[in-house]
Amino acid sequence: MINKYSRLEMVGIYLGIGVFLTFILAPFLEAFLVSLRPLNQINSVPYKIFTENMSFDAYFSMWHNVPKLWLYMWNSFFVATCVTLLALFAVIPSAWAFARFEFKGRDALLGAFLAINMVGGAVLIIPLFKLMKNVGLLNTYWSMILPGAAFLIPTGIWLLRSYLMKIPRELEEAAWVDGASRLYILRRVIMPIAMPGIVVVAIATFIGAYAQQFLFALTFNSSSDLYPLPVGINQFFGRQQVVWNEVMAASLVGILPVLAIYIFLQRYIIAGLTAGAVKE
Amino acid sequence: MQSLGGRPNIFPYLLLLPALIITLVIVAWPLVETVRLSFTDAALKPTENFVGFANYEKIFSKKFPEVIGRTFYWMAISVSLKMIVGTMGAMLLNSRVPGRDFFRVLVMPPWIVPIAIGVFIWAWMYNGQFGMISGVAQYLHIIAGPYEFLGDRTGAFYSTIVTDIWIGTPMVTIYLLAAMQSISPDLHEAAWVDGAGRMYRFRRITLPLILPAIATMGLLSAIWTFNSFDIIWILTKGGPRDATTTMIIDTYKTAISRNKYGEGAARAVMIVIFLSSFAGFYFFMLKQFAKRSLAK
């Protein structure tokens, strides 16, 4: 077998991993600690990691002090779900088209879709704002759902296309010869076989949609009833004194859904994110 | 009988229809509209007039070149550190030590959680009086008294970079890790039998084989960093005194905060020009890699 690590090398590797993970995880740990501190302990000098009277009070008081917190969380979840459904509705047929059919301009179209990934939402914010205003979508869920989905569709198409290309075409051809219509094949042959791929795309899209709720929600909404959680928490900062323990508690609770999804499905998520790093 | 996937056939276009409609309305049309607006004096007033290149002349006579320079400087530092930290992280997590599967799971959270929420936490940590970084640094006697990281121009500039690195590094790490793992262990074993040491094998086997992945990720990372909005907006809103005003922030401030759509659009067009050159380079690179792997 190939050479083992010496004891010194082992120590070095663990030390390196330790430093690396400290950088990655320290903010979460600090957020958790702050959420447990009473306000007068947060604003005390010198800085101490553990302070007196730590408790989960902020996790209860935040619901009173920010009455709409539930609503913000629901909005985040609802918008991300709608974005995912809308994106899947567009991604599944397109990915099939790109994977199986020959048509004029196919490669150019695929390239154009990928190019969308290069343009950030902030660049297009002016016409998007005017568009939303003109069609009356300002201050509606649609103003977050539509742009959210549009910017996530390209990655979805790319992921699902490479999945579909690995599926042998014999099944589709057999159904076609038996006289099934193309739409029937899509619904009854392709979608069942491609389900694992579709699930990966759905998870990746949901996480992306949940993670990126800031710019559109901030710009297209003035109604706090529609705020997703990040914009809702952003309101905390406008106050005279920032209630840091509640901000941190609300942030951590808001992170929980995606973190849970990630822990259970991390294998698929990583597979989705790293498609392309590995040559097939 | 016509074959399922053959031509001539309008069916594939029908399949593309939902995706095409959404992206045309939300991305393609606004892109064209941005270009058109950049040649007008559009603002909150109801009419807009064609003004030629006046907006471009105006922005270039102001501080805009400085903003471009700052954007590229910010991006260059952030991307190169992300790549270095990410590559080292991937190497560490690729070593065969007990517990590595668990460590790998712990890398992703900054990328998974809502960007804005991660940034809120950093906003607290940068607090000079009570924040963790200032506190720990004082305890270790690195700094003498409280230091407000976002309070002065230099501090704010580098603090926003650190947060950007924190958010971008997990993706780089996981991507390069996947590339490293796709390398056949036989290669390493054969080299080891021939007496090649670990560092030598890394330089001569691992590095050349993951180079395409490094290049791809580097470019993607550059594009994402260039587009980065949330991090700076939440931490500093482009301040203090414009120290963290990158092109994206500048565009947003001009267009949305000051309602100067025309001038904002001209700035956005400049961003698109830079982005397309990155994108062109990206596609060129992908083609080169595809060619090379076919030649083998």
- Examine the fold and report which residue of A33, A55, A77 is the final residue of a domain before the chain moves on: A55
Task: Note down the domain range covering A18.
Answer: 1-55
B275 to A123: CB separation less than 8 angstroms, yes or no: yes
Contacts of B171 in chain A (CB under 8 A): 273
Examine residue A154 and state whether it is found in any structural domain, yes or no: yes
**Which A residues, 153 through 192, put their C-beta within 8 Å of a C-beta on chain B?**
153-154, 157, 169, 172-173, 176, 182, 185-186
Examine residue A280 and state whether it is found in any structural domain, yes or no: no
Contacts of B107 in chain A (CB under 8 A): 21, 24
Mean of pLDDT values over B229-249:
87
B4 to A182: CB separation less than 8 angstroms, yes or no: yes
Mark whether A225 and A265 lie in a shared domain: yes
pLDDT of residue A245: 84
- Of chain B, the percentage scoring pLDDT greater than 90 comes to 20
In this complex, is the C-beta atom of B178 within 8 Å of any C-beta atom belonging to chain A?
A: yes
A234 to B116: CB separation less than 8 angstroms, yes or no: yes
Examine residue A201 and state whether it is found in any structural domain, yes or no: yes
Nearest CA in chain B to A110: B16
Examine residue A234 and state whether it is found in any structural domain, yes or no: yes
Task: Evaluate the CA torsion angle B56, B59, B61, B64 in order and state its sign.
Answer: negative
Mean of pLDDT values over B12-28:
91
Mark whether A130 and A240 lie in a shared domain: yes
A94 to B174: CB separation less than 8 angstroms, yes or no: no
Of the candidates A13, A117, A147, which has its C-beta nearest B26's C-beta?
A147
Please tell me whether residue A194 adopts helix, strand or coil conformation.
coil
Contacts of B139 in chain A (CB under 8 A): 46-47
In this complex, is the C-beta atom of A15 within 8 Å of any C-beta atom belonging to chain B?
A: no
Mark whether A51 and A72 lie in a shared domain: no
Residue B55: is its pLDDT beyond 50? yes
- Of chain B, the percentage scoring pLDDT greater than 70 comes to 96
Examine residue A217 and state whether it is found in any structural domain, yes or no: yes
Of the candidates B11, B92, B271, which has its C-beta nearest A123's C-beta?
B271
Examine residue A70 and state whether it is found in any structural domain, yes or no: yes
- Locate A105 and state its tokens: 């301009």
Interface with chain B: mutation pick from A48, A75, A119, A142, highest number of B CBs within 10 Å: A119
Mark whether A125 and A248 lie in a shared domain: yes
pLDDT of residue A7: 84
pLDDT of residue A280: 42
pTM: 0.86
Of the candidates B17, B175, B234, which has its C-beta nearest A277's C-beta?
B175
Q: What is the DSSP string of chain B?
A: ---SS-SS-SHHHHHHHHHHHHHIIIIIHHHHHHHHHTTB--SSSS---B-TTHHHHHHHHTTHHHHHHHHHHHHHHHHHHHHHHHHHHHHHHHS--TTHHHHHHHHSHHHHS-HHHHHHHHHHHT-TTT-HHHHHHHHTTSSSS---TTTSHHHHHHHHHHHHHHHHHHHHHHHHHHHHHTS-HHHHHHHHHTT--HHHHIIIIIHHHHHHHHHHHHHHHHHHHHT--HHHHHHTTT-STTTT--HHHHHHIIIIIS--HHHHHHHHHHHHHHHHHHHHHHHHHHHHHHHHHHH-
CATH number of the domain where residue A202 is located: 1.10.3720.10
pLDDT of residue A239: 63
**Count of pairs with CB atoms under 8 A, one residue in A, one in B:** 304
Examine residue A60 and state whether it is found in any structural domain, yes or no: no
In this complex, is the C-beta atom of A256 within 8 Å of any C-beta atom belonging to chain B?
A: no
Mark whether A19 and A97 lie in a shared domain: no
Mark whether A21 and A80 lie in a shared domain: no
> Which residues partner with B40 through β-bridges?
B50
A125 to B255: CB separation less than 8 angstroms, yes or no: yes
Contacts of A154 in chain B (CB under 8 A): 23
The nearest CA of chain B is from the CA of A57 a distance in Å of 19
Contacts of A14 in chain B (CB under 8 A): 97
Mark whether A118 and A40 lie in a shared domain: no
Contact B121, A28 (CB under 8 A): yes
Mean of pLDDT values over B80-105:
89
Interface with chain A: mutation pick from B21, B27, B228, highest number of A CBs within 10 Å: B27
Of the candidates A2, A121, A229, which has its C-beta nearest B192's C-beta?
A2
Number of domains in chain A: 2
Of the candidates B109, B111, B223, which has its C-beta nearest A118's C-beta?
B223
Interface with chain A: mutation pick from B121, B199, B206, B272, highest number of A CBs within 10 Å: B121
Mark whether A225 and A88 lie in a shared domain: yes
Domains of chain B in start order, with CATH, are 64-259 (1.10.3720.10)
Mark whether A173 and A79 lie in a shared domain: yes
Mark whether A171 and A33 lie in a shared domain: no
A10 to B25: CB separation less than 8 angstroms, yes or no: no
Q: How far apart are CA A60 and CA A62, in angstroms?
A: 6
Contacts of A2 in chain B (CB under 8 A): 185, 188-189, 192
In this complex, is the C-beta atom of A68 within 8 Å of any C-beta atom belonging to chain B?
A: no
Mark whether A175 and A253 lie in a shared domain: yes
Examine residue A249 and state whether it is found in any structural domain, yes or no: yes
pLDDT of residue B1: 41
Residue given tokens 């005194």 in the structure block: B241
The nearest CA of chain A is from the CA of B171 a distance in Å of 8
Check residues A100 and B239 and name the one with the higher pLDDT: A100
Q: How far apart are CA A250 and CA B87, in angstroms?
A: 33
Mark whether A177 and A119 lie in a shared domain: yes
pLDDT of residue B289: 75
Interface with chain B: mutation pick from A21, A33, A40, A47, highest number of B CBs within 10 Å: A47
In this complex, is the C-beta atom of B276 within 8 Å of any C-beta atom belonging to chain A?
A: yes
Contacts of A259 in chain B (CB under 8 A): 109, 112-113
Alpha helices in chain A (DSSP H): 7-36, 39-42, 57-65, 69-100, 106-116, 125-134, 142-165, 170-177, 182-185, 191-193, 195-211, 215-220, 229-234, 244-274
Residue B8: is its pLDDT beyond 60? no
Q: How far apart are CA A75 and CA A83, in angstroms?
A: 12
Q: What is the pLDDT along chain A (280 residues), one digit of tens a residue?
A: 466 778 888 888 899 999 999 999 999 998 898 888 887 777 776 677 777 777 787 788 888 877 788 899 899 999 999 999 999 999 999 999 998 888 888 888 888 888 887 887 888 888 888 888 888 888 899 989 999 999 899 888 988 888 888 888 888 888 888 888 888 888 888 888 888 889 888 988 898 888 888 888 888 888 888 888 888 888 777 666 778 888 888 889 888 888 888 888 877 777 777 766 655 4
